[in-house]
Chain A
């Protein structure tokens, strides 16, 4: 019987939400393959993680009691060993920063193809993966011509599995080759605290690469002032040092849920959207009518921000 092996993500004592979405994707794929869904949780408090991962549709949860936090060498060895043990057809993991730190190594080590950042999966005679290219401007399907494969899934694309299940919990032991562990996590740091907390703001004016130059920030600052809003930004603005890190919205920045989010010159890359899709009302101002930000916007203006923003500021002055 085919087996799908889904590897959960956790950090600092908590399973990450995408792990529960992974269960849904894993169950669907296991159904298509007419097989079982096995879930692996590696490191940390594996017992309590296993209990939480025992949800509807999960056949077995394997606990690998190795270390507290993520270490890619441990993950690589554990996943490869487990994959051999249950003869997995498919390995699934979140397309997270840690997922991207071990999935390519496992796929390479097992000589199986890897497809990252899947937004949909279908298995009929073979696996077909849907993913995006060119900054989400196009969607593609990729056919995988192999009997075994590794796929990482994008968070937010599958609903989380909520209902409890009746999986069997099985500790998995393997001989960790300590000499092959060549990296050591020495700590964590929180970044981005400072003068303002953008996650508290009711109204955010958020600026992206469309602003072009630091000097041009003035025009959005003027808008934020007029609207009594807080200024936020996409990553390139912060990378350039034009605004501090605590203003960055997105996957590696802050998650914000304001009443109104005005995205100015922001394309809406998936890592940005991850931080602001929960805003109640989303407004986008962008010259590109195909910019992905318009897919989640409630109101939009397809025009040059340098023309529109001053006009808008005027309306409120």
Chain B
């Protein structure tokens, strides 16, 4: 069986940062593997370790820089990787959900996976929608926010647990092929081993543009425009204690004691 994992490199903003236009200035950003995708990768790798007929492929939509991240996914054990990018994609300031679904659909048509794993959300834009949109685009089944998955022996059904709000979990059977969006905590993502990292360096990353995917530029033209980005005005009236740790802790202790904390 073949498992496709969608992998995104996400940007994280430094503690202090500056915004120019509708972007955080480059110098204040650090790039990393999306947290939710890390768990999706681990789930795929564990599946390939449990069985001997599983191929795992990572697909990312991202600029050249994101190869560092996709190599991380390879180092953790994915067999191969595809990266989708070209100038027309780069010109979009906000690639909308459907555009991503169309790009990923084209990769799915090439790869014909039996199972697609995706993260619940990306922690930079936190749209939380790509996996489910992709499933619909493909006309296959899906489940969102999955924190346990087991495939039946004949691989026709995925038994999943979906994590709802308030500590309630839903048990659901999903017909395969399917797209599952993976929640953190489903497993324990491994660190890439040195050997894995070395091996990943020599693995090929297949780069494809719109033309390779037989898509026109209109495939990535979305209806969403990012028009403003700003630091939210804090409505906080928090009293911030200043000074060295001894002083701030002392002041906080006074406040807590006034509130009767620790008074026994």
Contact = CB atoms under 8 A, between A and B. Distances in A.
Interface of A: 11-12, 16, 70, 72, 76, 95-98, 100-105, 107-109, 111, 113-117, 128, 132-146, 149, 182-192, 203, 226-229, 235-236, 238-241, 245, 251-255, 259-260, 281, 283-284, 287-291, 294-304, 307-308, 311-312, 314-316
B231 A182 contact: no
Contacts of B241: 299-301
Nearest to A12: B168
Contact of A134 (B11, B162, B234, B248): B11
30 contacts: A16-B165, A97-B165, A104-B129, A107-B129, A111-B98, A113-B96, A113-B98, A114-B97, A135-B126, A138-B19, A138-B24, A146-B223, A185-B171, A188-B168, A188-B170, A228-B261, A229-B262, A245-B167, A252-B167, A259-B260, A260-B256, A283-B256, A284-B238, A294-B236, A295-B235, A297-B238, A299-B252, A300-B239, A307-B245, A311-B248
B136 A260 contact: no
Contacts of A304: 245
Tell me the dominant secondary structure on chain A's binding face: mixed
Residue of A105, A186, A235, A252 most packed against chain B (CB within 10 A): A252
B238 A105 contact: no
Interface stretch (B59-67, B172-180, B191-199): B172-180
Interface string B76-112: 0000000000000000001011100100000000000
Interface of B: 11-13, 15-17, 19, 22, 24, 94, 96-98, 101, 120, 123-133, 135-137, 140-145, 161-175, 178, 184-185, 188, 222-232, 234-241, 245-246, 248-250, 252-253, 255-256, 259-262, 264
A179 B248 CA distance: 64
A316 B262 contact: yes
Contacts of B170: 70, 185, 187-188
B238 A298 contact: yes
Nearest to B137: A108
A287 to B, nearest CB: 7
A113 B225 CA distance: 11
Tell me the dominant secondary structure on chain B's binding face: mixed
B252 A287 contact: no
A70 B167 CA distance: 17
A176 to B, nearest CB: 16
Given A138-B24, A228-B264, A315-B249, A290 B231 contact: yes
A229 B261 contact: yes
Contacts of A307: 245
Given A187-B171, A254-B167, A142 B227 contact: yes
B240 A302 contact: yes
Contacts of B24: 134, 138
